[in-house]
């Protein structure tokens, strides 16, 4: 689709395809691939005007950037989301903006930004995004060696993804859980 749309200057169509490919790559842990697709939509620190895909893929770019060590790019993109005040648009955008800020915060941040994101009103209407935030939170907790808390977030994310039929995402959460036990993941 991208190869067909690009020479025809159908940027919106290419953005849709890049967004789908970015999320597919994230779901299986191919963060480099995801990053390449996410920045094709909108470069770090920029939310392209009149392009809803730039908003919808913002968390994808940050997730991929954080997992590939591109922390500066992730930070400038989270700053752009905050400056644009995306949280005023909907509970979904409030959740992903708060999650983005949590993902780029230093590990010794004084407050639990993920906990604050998960306490926002109205987010239960966005179960996929909520599960993604729980996955990111679990990964962060695991990195801090807070295994009991990490296990709870990761198990909830895995179960929520499974209920939604998002099996690659469920597998990603299961792999994180298994890594804490040093065991191979068990898939249903």
Domain ranges in the chain? 1-84, 85-188
* Whether pLDDT at 13 is above 80: no
Single pTM value for the model: 0.89
* Whether pLDDT at 184 is above 60: no
| Tally of CA atoms within 13 A in the half-sphere of 165 that contains its CB | 0
Name the band, by pLDDT with cuts 50, 70 and 90, for residue 11: low
Please check whether residue 176 is in contact with residue 27, taking contact to mean a CB–CB distance below 8 angstroms: no
Distance CA 97, CA 167 (A): 25
- When pLDDT is averaged across residues 120-144 and rounded to a whole number, the result is 95
Q: pLDDT tens digits for 24-66?
A: 999 999 999 999 999 999 999 999 888 888 999 999 999 999 9
Find the range with the poorest average confidence among 120-124, 130-134, 139-143.
Answer: 139-143
* Whether pLDDT at 160 is above 70: yes
pLDDT for res 38:
97
Own/partner pairs, 103-109, CB within 8 angstroms, 24+ separation = 103/62, 103/63, 103/66, 103/74, 103/78, 103/136, 103/140, 104/62, 104/66, 104/71, 104/74, 104/75, 104/78, 107/140, 107/143, 107/144
Find the range with the poorest average confidence among 8-22, 91-105, 136-150, 151-165.
Answer: 8-22
Q: pLDDT tens digits for 90-120?
A: 999 999 999 999 999 987 664 689 999 999 9
pLDDT for res 110:
42
pLDDT for res 46:
93
Q: In terms of Cα–Cα distance, which of 4, 70, 85 is closest to 35?
A: 70
């Amino acid at each position: 689709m991208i190869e067909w749309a690009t020479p025809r200057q159908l940027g919106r169509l290419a953005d849709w395809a890049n967004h789908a490919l970015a999320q597919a790559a994230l779901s299986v842990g191919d963060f480099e691939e995801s990053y390449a697709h996410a920045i094709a939509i909108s470069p770090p620190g920029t939310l392209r005007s009149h392009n809803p895909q730039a908003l919808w893929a913002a968390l994808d770019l940050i997730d991929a950037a954080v997992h590939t060590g591109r922390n500066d790019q992730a930070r400038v993109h989270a700053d752009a989301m905050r400056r644009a005040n995306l949280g005023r648009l909907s509970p979904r955008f409030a959740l992903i903006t708060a999650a983005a800020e949590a993902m780029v915060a230093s590990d010794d941040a004084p407050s639990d930004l993920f906990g604050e994101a998960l306490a926002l009103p109205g987010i239960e209407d966005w179960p996929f995004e909520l599960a993604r935030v729980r996955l990111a939170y679990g990964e962060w907790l695991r990195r801090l060696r807070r295994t009991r808390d990490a296990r709870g977030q990761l198990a909830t994310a895995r179960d929520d993804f499974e209920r939604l039929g998002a099996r690659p995402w469920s597998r990603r959460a299961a792999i994180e859980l298994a890594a804490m036990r040093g065991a191979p993941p068990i898939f249903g």
